[in-house]
């Protein structure tokens, strides 16, 4: 009873199979790419496609290989009324010789061999039909009279399977209200596109000012190209739902300073900052490129030598706390308009250069900064001073009282000897983190209470000389 019913139904379904309409980059009218910091990008791809009236399968070719299909949205900008999407499929099984052979497991192929003629003059082609039995760690073919475990010639396939694509393709089953060329926009989120900021600082000879150039390093490993795209960058920490980790993208670093270039246009966007390139650019597949972000000159700069202490010095007897201790070198500047800057600065690496006596720029250190709004202070650690060292020791320690775990009282004294091999005097900041309730009883140099648990001493050390800081402190814990 069912057979007469099923046959007409199958014919009806076959008749309703949507016609596939391909679209490639040749149809592209406009392209915009917005890239976020965390290996995420929003792509808006506009193409003009002639659609038939009724149901059709639009094969949107050359999309990102790392597209997140669940985020894809197709809009009809020409005839939106009665235009709707029924289904979409992302075909990422790409056409390769191995994949093609794999898809023909259980199917017949033609094997072509070249054999010499019987008379030894020349050669001829011999064709046989074989069934592909398996492709696991090698090919297994079944001929009419034998089975062979290697391909004895070249293979001819009757066609390419429908689920194999030359490029990543999003297939959208849709309904078009009219038959005519229509402008369509496909927007989607994708991985494989990333950016970061790289900054280059050139210090003035007196190290009291600097020039700054900011660059955006773009990396495209998404599996497709983005020609003549409007490029925008979002700086900020955008929250994303947890998902499987994506592979880290390789990055290139700049090795030298570049000349100043126009800034990218910047504006606020929600709680982030949006940067827009003033011209279209092409992001080629598997490419890293850089574009200018910002530039500024004659920014006032402060240099600091810093010796950092440890809080555990004050709760026990130690004696010698170190010889020839390293003194850190820091550069600090204000991100303010009056300091010739005053711009939101995306997180990235800042590389600092200074010219030698012959005028050649030399690399003197680098540090990483977080997203920094205007009117904030940036502080970069560039390394450790070669000509400045410190010797630190505890000269006295007493336990004055206390029986419980948290009510001890200690008194200790320290000596910090600073040595300067430079030909000019310098000032070293000695930053001492002190736990609990503390009180300085004696000090050879003035101090400031930096925070509730930190004292800062500033010690001037003469050229090719030394200076000694001493102090006594009482700690209650």
How far apart, in whole angstroms, are the C-alpha atoms of residue 212 and residue 132? 64
Both tokens of residue 364?
């003197």
Q: Which residue pairs, CB below 8 angstroms and at least 24 apart, start in 313-317?
A: 313/394, 313/412, 313/414, 313/432, 314/410, 314/412, 314/434, 314/435, 314/438, 314/473, 314/475, 315/408, 315/410, 315/435, 315/475, 315/477, 316/397, 317/394, 317/397
Which CATH topology does 302-335+376-476 take? Immunoglobulin-like (2.60.40)
The whole-number pLDDT of residue 257 equals 38
* Helix extents (H) in 30-116: 97-103
Sketch the domain layout of the chain as residue ranges. 13-31+44-93+165-190, 97-156, 193-296, 302-335+376-476
The whole-number pLDDT of residue 117 equals 85
The whole-number pLDDT of residue 258 equals 40
Nearest one of 210, 191, 194 to 347, comparing CA atoms: 194
Nearest one of 251, 328, 321 to 290, comparing CA atoms: 251
pTM reported for the whole predicted model: 0.75
Chain centroid to CA 138: 39
How far apart, in whole angstroms, are the C-alpha atoms of residue 142 and residue 461? 89
The whole-number pLDDT of residue 259 equals 42
Indicate left, alpha or beta for 324 from its phi (over 0: left) and psi (-120 to 50: alpha): left
The CA angle 85-89-95, to the nearest 5 degrees, is 140
The pLDDT profile of the chain, 477 residues, written as one tens digit per residue, is 444 444 443 334 444 557 789 999 999 999 999 999 888 999 999 999 999 999 999 999 999 999 999 999 999 999 999 999 999 999 877 778 888 888 889 999 999 988 888 777 778 889 999 999 999 888 999 999 999 998 888 999 999 887 778 788 999 999 999 999 999 999 999 999 999 999 999 999 999 999 999 999 999 999 999 999 999 999 888 887 765 544 433 333 333 334 444 568 888 888 888 999 989 999 999 999 999 999 999 999 999 999 999 999 998 899 899 999 999 999 999 999 999 999 999 999 999 999 999 999 999 999 999 999 999 999 999 999 999 999 999 999 998 887 666 678 999 999 999 999 999 999 999 999 999 899 999 999 999 999 999 999 999 999 999 999 999 999 988
Chain centroid to CA 48: 33
The whole-number pLDDT of residue 151 equals 87
200 touches 7 (CB < 8 A): no
Indicate left, alpha or beta for 203 from its phi (over 0: left) and psi (-120 to 50: alpha): beta
How far apart, in whole angstroms, are the C-alpha atoms of residue 347 and residue 195? 10
């Amino acid at each position: 009873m069912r057979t007469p019913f099923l046959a007409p139904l199958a014919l009806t379904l076959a008749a309703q199979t949507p016609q596939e309409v391909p679209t490639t980059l040749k149809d592209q009218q406009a392209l915009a790419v917005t890239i976020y910091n965390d290996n995420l990008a929003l792509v808006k791809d506009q193409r003009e496609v002639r659609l038939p009236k009724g149901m059709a399968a639009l094969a949107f070719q050359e999309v990102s290989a790392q597209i997140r299909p669940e985020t894809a949205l197709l809009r009809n900008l020409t005839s939106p009324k009665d235009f709707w999407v029924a289904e979409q499929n992302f075909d990422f099984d790409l056409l390769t010789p191995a994949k093609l052979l794999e898809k023909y497991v259980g199917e017949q192929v033609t094997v072509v061999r070249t054999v010499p003629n019987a008379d030894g003059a020349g050669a001829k082609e011999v064709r046989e039909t074989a069934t592909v039995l398996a492709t696991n760690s090698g090919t297994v073919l079944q001929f009419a009279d034998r089975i062979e475990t290697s391909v004895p010639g070249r293979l001819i396939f009757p066609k390419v399977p429908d689920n194999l694509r030359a490029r990543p393709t999003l297939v959208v089953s849709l309904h078009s209200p009219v038959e005519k060329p229509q402008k369509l926009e496909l927007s989607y989120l994708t991985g494989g596109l990333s950016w970061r900021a790289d900054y280059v600082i050139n210090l003035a000879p007196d190290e009291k000012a600097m020039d700054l150039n900011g660059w955006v390093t773009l990396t495209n490993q998404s599996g497709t190209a983005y020609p003549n795209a409007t490029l925008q960058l979002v700086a900020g920490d955008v929250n994303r739902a947890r998902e499987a980790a994506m592979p880290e993208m390789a990055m290139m670093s700049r090795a030298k300073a570049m000349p100043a270039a126009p800034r990218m246009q910047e504006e606020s966007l929600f709680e982030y900052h949006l940067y827009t390139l003033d011209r279209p650019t092409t992001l080629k597949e598997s490419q890293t490129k850089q574009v200018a972000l910002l530039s500024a000159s004659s920014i006032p700069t402060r240099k600091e030598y810093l010796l950092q202490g440890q809080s555990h010095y004050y709760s026990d007897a130690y004696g010698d706390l170190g010889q020839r201790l390293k003194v850190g070198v820091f550069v600090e500047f204000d991100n303010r308009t009056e300091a010739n800057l005053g711009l939101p600065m995306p997180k990235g690496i800042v590389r600092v250069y200074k010219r030698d006596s012959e005028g050649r720029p030399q690399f003197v250190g680098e540090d990483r900064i977080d997203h920094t709004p205007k009117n904030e202070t940036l502080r970069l650690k560039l390394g450790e001073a070669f000509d400045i060292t410190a010797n630190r020791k505890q000269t006295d320690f007493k336990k004055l009282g206390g029986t419980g775990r948290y009510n001890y009282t200690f008194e200790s004294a320290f000596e910090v000897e600073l040595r300067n091999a430079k030909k000019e005097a310098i000032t070293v900041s000695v930053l001492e983190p002190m736990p609990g309730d503390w009180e300085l009883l004696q000090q050879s140099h003035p101090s400031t209470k930096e925070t509730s648990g930190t004292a800062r001493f500033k010690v001037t050390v003469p050229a090719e000389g030394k200076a000694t800081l001493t102090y006594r402190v009482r700690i209650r814990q």
